[in-house]
Chain A
Amino acid sequence: MSNELQRLVGRNIFVMTCEGRVLIGKLRGVDTVMNLTMSDLRERLFRGSGLPPAEGAGETFMAEPAAEGEGVEEISLGTMVVRGDNVAVVGEIDEDIESQIDWSSVAALPLPPIKH
């Protein structure tokens, strides 16, 4: 399985941690226990206060702008190693879709933490 991750080295990836944090950055290296070294790392802070505006289409996050102060904030974390047992999901980012999303207008609650 580390082969699958090895393939993503040098690419921009998404990481969901067990605390429910969302990290975006360039994958620099992986090992067999899924420790990840990432550079240009950013944490996306989701700080919506409640339910998002409309039901229905999956595109709601694009359509309705977030209320003041509820949009996604990004903070730079530089280079970090994420310990493997704290990793929940590693995702490959589709740059075409990514460039179309205005994250500052997305309002959502933070992801719940993983409960074992």
Chain B
Amino acid sequence: MLFYSFFKTLVGKPVAVELKNGVVIRGDLTSVDQFTNLKLENIQVVDDHLYPHMSSVSSCLIRGSVVRYVHLRPDDVDCDLLQDATRREADRHKQEAAAAAASAAAPSAGRA
């Protein structure tokens, strides 16, 4: 869910999305969902002489599962904040896993 929140902060910003077939689509990010499906507007395919297939497409929705990379402008990302958030989320997962293990162990100990 962290990267869903992260992508929400990028709404309105220009991005370039590289698909898993090598096609790169540039455009303004207009919305994102929990599957990281991305909606772009004012799109332009990079190398459009090689890939004229989408030349009449003005905006598109890219399925999250076919995205290889999302290229961002460096100024649009606060790396320190993102790293902190990532660590916090990792800690939270660890604590939840420990709590789940403890509650799973407790009843079996009671039965023994």
Binding site for B on A (CB under 8 A): 1, 4-5, 14, 16, 18, 20, 22, 34, 44, 46, 51-52, 54-56, 58, 60-61, 85, 87-94, 97-98, 101, 106, 108-109, 111-116
Return the chain B residue nearest A64 by Cβ. Answer: B49
For the complex, count residues of B whose C-beta is within 8 A of A.
31
- Residues of B contacting A: mostly: mixed
Q: Kindly identify which residue among B21, B35, B44, B53 contacts A22, using a CB–CB cutoff of 8 Å.
A: B53
A91 touches B66 (CB 8 A): no
Q: Give B36's nearest chain A residue, CB to CB.
A: A1
How many residue pairs link A and B with beta carbons under 8 A? The number is 102
Chain B interface residues (CB < 8 Å from chain A): 19-23, 25, 31, 33, 35, 37, 39, 43-44, 48-63, 65-66
Q: Which residues on the B side are within 8 Å of A58 (C-beta)?
A: 44, 48-49, 55
